Amino acid sequence: MPEDDRKDINRDAVAREIEAAVNEQVSGLPPEQADALREKIRLRVREEIERDLRARTVSERREAVRLAREARKKEKDAEEGETFLRFNRNFRFQHMVMFSSVILLIITGMPLKFPGFILSRFVINFWGGIQNSTIVHRVGAGMLIYFMVHHFFYTILTRDGRRDFVLLLPKFGDAKDIAHNIRHFLGKVADKPRFGRFSYIEKFDYWAVYWGCIIMIGSGLFLWFETDVLRFLPKYALDVAHEMHSDEAMLATLAIVIWHFYNVHFNPDRFPGTLLWWHGRITEHEMKEEHPLELEEIVARRAKESAEVTNR
Amino acid sequence: MRKFALTAVLVFLGGAFLPGLARDASASISLEKCTLCHGKPEFRKLLVDGQIRDLFVTGDTLAGSVHAKKVCADCHFDVSEIPHRERPKRVTCTHCHFKGNHEGAPQSDNVLAYFDSVHGTAIARGNTKAPLCQDCHGSHAILKAKDPGSRVARGQVAETCGRCHMEIYAQFKGSIHGTALAKGIAEVPSCTGCHGEHRIYARKDPKSTVYPTHVSEQCSKCHSSVKIMGKFGIETEQVATYNESFHGVANQFGSRTVANCSSCHGVHDIRPPADPLSMVNPKNVPKTCGKCHPGANPNFAVGKIHVDAKKKESGIIYWTATFFKWLTIGTMLALVAHIFLDMYGRTKRLRGER
């Protein structure tokens, strides 16, 4: 048998068993034949053992990697505390569809607002001319429309969607939070306002997207199917749509590039950005910092649930 | 021996130069010799196609023209004997008119520009109907282009081009530019105003001034000038509003299919919108837009086409633009203020911690 420092009692027992069986087999045979048979069996067994060992080392290696990863995670969790799922997979998917469509729309749309810029000409030429870039713009538009429809049904049909929609509705408390936060920025109040699941900043982002989507998709569809629209409406309706599309695009782009990018990328707490949009998880530490009221709710609910279990 | 050699050289040189000198002497045929035949008013030739070619030329023909001091043989230098047996070749103006000439002829690169143009390349390909210099500038009675009597003067050039481009000339004569030209208005463009003078290219040639992506630039040369348009009570905003519209933007990005000025207003038959024959007359707008937007209907004409959102007269469009302007300014001010307050607070707290 090959040397192996991982051999255990079990393996020794098997070896002894095989030895005994072989001895029994060869006992009645002449010595040459017995030796030949013994050699044959030994080769077969060795082959068998080697194969088993190969398979075992691969799975053991995988197991070791997994354990190490878990250990690291546990170590990290000990620092950050427990992680919570902030955005479910469906919501993350919606966000990804939206941001990829908005990026496409901005880079193919903005050059049309500033045709004199060299960068605009570069971007349009990158797509292979205005004929192609307008097609890409419509692809982006299709994705944004899909996102809007998807989100509408998500809000109506899923429990998380309904809960988030209600939590996103503006409340009087938000105005108080704004005042509190500004006083905090100015150093008048030491502690930050305590936010629930959605702070007023996130609520603003959500409703800005809502408003932007309605304006952009509405006016964009007018411009897309201009001849059909003109069948029912006068030309100045199209001009209004054009003006809205152009102006709201500017507002949305500025809001995203300045406001949203500051809040999720350039803000010193976040720089250069978190992977929340990818894995949807948020640590207990971040929860305590940014959504203390939601954390309290979760803790309270858990306490209630465990109390129910023990009562039962 | 030395003397003999010198004589031989002299004889050789004489043999080499004398025939040339002699030919030069015989080439300078006097005007009187030409007018022996060409001075008779009935001297003409019946061509194969039945046309009559008038061959009447007198000593006064060149008088008053830019070539008043020239004689027949200066241009018709291939005529070496009288009467000439063959028809003289077409006159080659470049014999004198080239840059660096010693003749004292006006020096310019126009002849090179011409050879690159659609007419010059047609000649080079062997098209005998394509025009040479003299077809536009005239043959004997050539005047300076600035002279109003010249065939290439602003008032005359359309007719000159129209000798070949007859249908286009007929259209142009009825257009606003053509009628204004007939009235003698100085600013109005004739053919050369848009197509160029010697650098005339086919409209599908990217070098052409009337290539699809160059048309708006060409029209805006005059139509964006308040100085010119003010004289005729025409607004100049059309240029800016076109450039801001999708048509204008796509045109600036090099789209050759999108509408330019002439797609809607017409090319040679541009007429004022009030004219019922105008392509942009409200009655004709559906047809005009329908060229690119199948199914265009009278709704295309409801509302101003060249609309400027910055002007109050644009009504609802102006109010939409104003609303969004202040919405953007207000929102961005609030958001940027919030960001700066946040950063101010952070800095202050960091300093406090230190």
Q: Which residues of chain A make contact with B253, given a CB cutoff of 8 A?
A: 111, 115, 121, 124, 129-130
Element (H, E) at A283: strand A281-283
- Partner B contacted by A262 (CB < 8 A): yes
Q: Which residues of chain A have pLDDT under 50?
A: 1-3
- Partner B contacted by A250 (CB < 8 A): yes
Q: Which pLDDT score is estimated for B108?
A: 82
> Which of A112, A132, A192, A239 should we substitute to test contact with B (largest number of B Cβ atoms within 10 Å)?
A239
Q: Which pLDDT score is estimated for A225?
A: 93
Q: Which pLDDT score is estimated for B210?
A: 93
* Residue A67 Cα, gap to closest chain B Cα (Å): 40
* Residue B202 Cα, gap to closest chain A Cα (Å): 24
- Partner B contacted by A202 (CB < 8 A): no
Q: Which pLDDT score is estimated for B90?
A: 85
Rounded distance between C-alpha atoms, residue B244 and residue A107, angstroms: 18
A118: CB partners within 8 A, 6+ apart: none
> Which of B253, B314, B343 should we substitute to test contact with A (largest number of A Cβ atoms within 10 Å)?
B253
Q: Which pLDDT score is estimated for B205?
A: 92
Q: Which residues of chain A make contact with B255, given a CB cutoff of 8 A?
A: 129-131
Q: Which pLDDT score is estimated for B262?
A: 93
Residue pair B109/B97 in contact by the 8 Å Cβ criterion? no
Rounded distance between C-alpha atoms, residue B309 and residue B321, angstroms: 6
**Using CA atoms in the order A213, A217, A219, A225, what is the torsion angle rounded to 10 degrees?**
180
CB contact under 8 A, A186 and B345: yes
CB contact under 8 A, B325 and A247: yes
> Which of A112, A203, A240, A289 should we substitute to test contact with B (largest number of B Cβ atoms within 10 Å)?
A240
Query: What's the N-to-C CA distance of chain A in angstroms?
Result: 58
* Residue A260 Cα, gap to closest chain B Cα (Å): 10
Q: Which residues of chain A make contact with B213, given a CB cutoff of 8 A?
A: none
- Partner B contacted by A71 (CB < 8 A): no
Residue pair B29/B72 in contact by the 8 Å Cβ criterion? yes
- Partner B contacted by A128 (CB < 8 A): no
- Partner B contacted by A1 (CB < 8 A): no
| Residue-wise DSSP of B266-326 | -SS----TTSTT-TTSTTTHHHHHHTTSTT--GGGGSS-SS--TTSGGGTHHHHHHHHHHH
Q: Which pLDDT score is estimated for B27?
A: 45
Q: Is B258 exposed, middle or buried (0-12, 13-18, 19+ CB in 10 A)?
A: buried
Q: Which pLDDT score is estimated for B18?
A: 47
- Partner B contacted by A224 (CB < 8 A): no
Q: Which pLDDT score is estimated for A148?
A: 96
Q: Which residues of chain A make contact with B305, given a CB cutoff of 8 A?
A: 235
List chain B pLDDT tens, one digit each, 354 residues. Answer: 556 665 655 555 545 444 444 444 444 567 777 888 888 888 888 888 888 888 888 877 787 888 888 888 888 888 888 888 888 888 888 888 888 888 788 878 888 899 999 999 999 999 988 999 888 998 888 888 888 888 888 888 999 999 999 999 999 999 999 999 999 888 899 999 999 989 999 999 999 999 999 999 999 999 999 999 999 988 888 999 999 999 999 999 989 899 999 999 999 999 999 999 999 999 999 999 999 998 888 888 888 889 888 888 888 999 999 999 999 999 999 999 999 999 999 998 888 876
Nearest to B307 among A112, A124, A239 (CB): A239
Nearest to A244 among B250, B324, B345 (CB): B324
